[in-house]
Structures are given as structure tokens and as C-alpha cells.
């Protein structure tokens, strides 16, 4: 959005995704983000709400890590290597070597 010079947007999404969409918009410093959630008539909500709960939890962790300058753009998937660095790789190497 910044490339286009846009500062705000109207976010229309499913109701189960509205809170995370709003939080991300605030994190990106969008000016007065507006989210209009809609209710799906066809999606199986238990699956989608469970998945969104996990996605929102992941986002909260990533947001916190970014706030302290820890996370990269690659996100939480790189967390184990960043947390324990070379020690993580050494344990994996020792494990492989001991099985030979």
C-alpha cells in the first residue's frame, strides 16, 4: 500500500478473521483501519475458527518478536534456529553421528 501512497483501507473479510486483520492493519500503521466482517453461509466454521485461532496466536508471537527486533521477515518458522543458533545445529549433528 505504501508503494501506491495509500494510508488507509477498508478491510472486508470473514468474521472469524476480522480481529487479526484489524490488528495487522494497526501494526502496519494504517490510518484509522476499518474492518467489515461478513458471515459465511458456506464455510464449515469449526475448522476455520480453529485455524484462525492458531493463526492469530502465531501472529501475536511474531508481532512481539518483531517489536523487540528478534524476528525476521521470514517469520516464526525460523524461530528454533534463531533462539538457540549453533547449539541447535550441533545437537542435530551429534544425533545423526551417534546413530551411525
pLDDT reported for residue 3? 78
Distance between CA atoms of residues 70 and 55, nearest Å: 19
pLDDT at 92 over 90: no
Residues 58-63 have a mean pLDDT of 88
At 23, give phi and psi (nearest 5°).
-65, -40
Q: Report pLDDT digits (tens) over 9-57.
A: 788 889 888 999 999 888 888 888 889 999 988 989 999 999 999 999 9
- pTM (whole model) above 0.75: no
Q: Are 35 and 25 in contact (CB under 8 A)?
A: yes
Distances (CA, A) of 97 to 52, 72, 85: 40, 31, 19
pLDDT for 91 beyond 60: no
Amino acid at each position: 500500500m505504501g508503494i501506491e501512497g495509500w494510508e488507509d483501507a477498508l478491510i472486508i473479510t470473514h468474521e472469524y478473521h476480522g480481529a487479526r486483520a484489524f490488528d495487522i492493519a494497526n501494526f502496519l500503521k494504517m490510518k484509522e483501519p476499518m474492518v467489515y466482517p461478513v458471515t459465511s453461509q458456506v464455510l464449515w466454521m469449526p475448522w476455520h475458527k480453529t485455524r484462525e485461532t492458531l493463526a492469530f496466536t502465531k501472529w501475536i508471537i511474531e508481532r512481539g518478536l518483531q517489536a523487540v527486533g528478534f524476528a525476521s521477515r521470514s517469520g516464526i518458522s525460523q524461530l528454533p534456529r534463531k533462539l538457540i543458533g549453533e547449539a541447535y545445529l550441533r545437537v542435530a549433528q551429534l544425533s545423526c553421528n551417534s546413530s551411525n
